[in-house]
Amino acid sequence: MTQDLSITALVLNASFVVQLVMAGLLLASLASWTVIFGKLFGLRRVRGRNDDFERDFWSGRSLAEMNQAIAGKAETAPIERIFASGMREFLKLRERRLDAATQLDGAHRAMRVSLQRELDVIESNMSFLASVGSVSPYVGLFGTVWGIMHAFVGLSNMQQVTLATVAPGIAVALVATAIGLFAAIPAVVAYNRFARDIDRIAIQLETFIEEFSNILQRNAAGGSVAPGAAATLAPGR
């Protein structure tokens, strides 16, 4: 008689340990796909908002106006929060009539702290994708080894062993490896893609900090503060 070697039948006839491994890998795969889609749309939204703010920043608007506009927003981009932290610290030190170097250093340090905070948020769940991508193949391999071992133990009680009797046990064991690769490959590909995107965002934010610091330096020295043509910084805020 022919045996049912469909995937469903193989999984249902697998040992409890192999079924547990498969279930864990499927859950890990589902969780990683959830993270992948969330990170995909999240990074796209961050890049779009950052680009919009940079265009507005270099359009020549008043820095004070931009600061007030950000304060009135319900949701802000990472680059806007960095800008707001730098402005807040700079204006606070300016009110205290401290020297220009202290004003600039305080604003720069505030923006660097804000940058690290933003990158921590942007990089959230990246370690999970890395773990799924690196561990899943080994978990699947463990399920395969256990399934093969279990199959050979069962065959030891048979007097006549044929390919038909060996095939189901080997096949169900290999399914565990296949599920492990199914969970790992998308996680690895997504991790590499997101890591590259996050690096680009980090470079954009770091570049903005340096450019904005130059503008604040000119203002602290009494020069123009316009990022574009003619922006002015309202004193004493």
Tell me, what's the pLDDT at 79? 94
In a domain, 225, yes or no: no
127-143 pLDDT, tens digit per residue, is 999 999 999 999 999 98
On whether residue 53 sits in a domain, the answer given is: yes
Task: State how far the Cα of 180 lies from the Cα of 177, in Å rounded to an integer.
Answer: 5
Q: What percent of the chain has pLDDT over 70?
A: 81
Q: Which domain holds residue 16?
A: 7-60+76-220
pLDDT tens-digit map of 188-204:
999 999 999 999 999 99
In a domain, 2, yes or no: no
**Measured CA distances, 172 to 1, 132, 180, 217 (Å):** 19, 22, 13, 67
Residue that wins the pLDDT comparison between 156 and 124 = 124
Q: Is the dihedral of CA 159, 162, 164, 170 positive or negative?
A: positive
Number of independent structural domains in the chain: 1
The pLDDT, as a whole number, for residue 225 is 44
205 within a domain of the structure (yes/no): yes
With respect to residue 47, please indicate whether it lies within any of the assigned structural domains.
yes
Q: What is the pLDDT of residue 150?
A: 75
Give pLDDT tens digits for 20-69. Answer: 998 999 999 999 999 999 999 999 999 999 999 999 899 888 888 888 88
Between CA 143 and CA 197 the distance in angstroms is 35
Contact between 225 and 233 under an 8 Å Cβ cutoff? The reply is yes
**Does residue 66 fall inside a structural domain?**
no
The rounded distance, in Å, linking the Cα atoms of 215 and 182 is: 50
Q: Is 26 a member of any domain? A: yes
Q: How many residues does the chain have?
A: 237
pLDDT at res. 63 = 86
Tell me, yes or no, whether 157 lies in a domain. Answer: yes
Task: Say how far apart CA 76 and CA 117 lie, in whole Å.
Answer: 14
pTM: 0.80
